[in-house]
């Protein structure tokens, strides 16, 4: 993989590696797109993530599932404590990164994102499947929620007044300026936040992450530097 310069290249994986290891007993590949995309074709053996895992099914709020709910979802996908999860999508890693974050939040750091996702898999001429795989549900997932990866409202309010912090708004232009509410009760952005939409760090043609050097330059130009505590939303 051409991942030189990244602080944590182990968070990403290339299509060649996935192709070689997709049938390994301890590997579960998760397609993070919607059902209609999955049925059009997917990586052989991959599982489709439920489209509501970012919602609490009891309340309908757009929050991560409760521990027992997340545990049941993972075990239903065949993800156990010792499983290496490979997440991919056809959305420039947007939804794959969300699953990566959710798993890490629940203490499962053994997860990687396929750099380039579905577009890379197809462009490299790799095998496509239309079958639904049957997961090994004889696994145990132990949720260990790490609250340190989340920020509370009061903490964010305090960070707005700290020179050592930067608030990074990764949303669209419309959400930033309030012209697109997207169903939220209030529009606009956190006072003092920096606006840099997430896809600026991606190559729009290949769906791969930009080089480490390019990403550092883009972040630095927007005041997002290693010496700051970064809060994102």
Quote the DSSP letter at residue 222. Answer: T
Calculate mean pLDDT across residues 161-169.
96
**How confident is the model at residue 60, as a pLDDT?**
67
What is the share, in percent, of the chain residues with pLDDT greater than 70?
A: 97
Give the list of residues 6+ apart from residue 58 with CB closer than 8 angstroms, or none.
Answer: 66, 69
170-209 pLDDT tens trace? 999 999 999 998 878 899 999 999 999 999 999 999 999 9
Cα(15)–Cα(79) distance, integer angstroms: 20
- Residue 55 scores a pLDDT above 60: yes
Q: What would the 3-class secondary structure string for 76-132 be? A: HHCCCCCCEEEEECCCCCHHHHHHHHHHHHCCCCCEEEECCHHHHHHHCCCCCECCC
> Could you tell me the domains of the chain?
9-147 (3.40.250.10), 151-232 (3.40.250.10)
What's residue 185's pLDDT?
83
Q: Closest by alpha carbon to 98, among 53, 139, 57? A: 53
Contact 88, 43 (CB under 8 A): yes
Q: Which one is predicted more confidently, 60 or 106?
A: 106
pLDDT band at 2, cuts 50/70/90? low
Confidence bin at 54 (pLDDT 50/70/90): confident
pLDDT at 181: 81
Q: Is the model's pLDDT at 64 over the cut of 90?
A: no
Sign of CA dihedral 13, 89, 83, 130: negative
For residues 59 and 30, the model is more confident at 30
Mean pLDDT calculated for residue range 102-131: 98
Confidence of residue 53 (pLDDT cuts 50, 70, 90): confident
Q: CA–CA separation, 177 vs 181, rounded Å?
A: 9
Distances (CA, A) of 193 to 94, 108, 111, 155, 224: 21, 30, 30, 14, 11
Mean pLDDT of the chain, nearest integer: 94
For residue 202, how far is the Cα from the chain centroid?
13
């Amino acid at each position: 993989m051409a991942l030189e310069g990244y602080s944590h290249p182990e968070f990403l994986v290339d299509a060649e590696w996935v192709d070689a290891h997709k049938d390994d007993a301890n590997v579960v590949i998760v397609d993070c797109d919607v059902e209609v995309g999955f049925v059009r074709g997917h990586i052989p053996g991959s599982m489709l993530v439920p489209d509501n895992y970012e919602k609490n099914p009891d309340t309908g709020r757009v929050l991560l599932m409760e521990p027992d709910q997340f545990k049941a979802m993972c075990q239903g996908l065949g993800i156990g404590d010792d499983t290496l999860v490979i997440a991919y999508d056809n959305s420039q890693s947007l939804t794959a990164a969300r699953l990566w974050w959710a798993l890490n939040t629940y203490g499962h750091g053994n997860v990687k994102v396929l750099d380039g996702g579905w577009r890379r898999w197809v462009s490299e001429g790799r095998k496509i499947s239309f079958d639904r795989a049957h997961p090994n549900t004889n696994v145990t997932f132990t949720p260990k929620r790490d609250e340190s990866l989340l920020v509370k409202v009061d903490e964010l309010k305090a960070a707005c007044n700290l020179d050592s912090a930067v608030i990074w708004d990764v949303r669209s232009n419309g959400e930033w300026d309030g012209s697109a509410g997207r169903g939220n009760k209030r529009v606009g952005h956190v006072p003092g936040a920096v606006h840099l939409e997430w896809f600026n760090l991606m190559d729009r043609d290949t769906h791969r992450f930009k080089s480490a050097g390019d990403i550092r330059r883009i972040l630095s130009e927007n005041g997002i530097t290693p010496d700051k505590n970064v809060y994102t939303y």
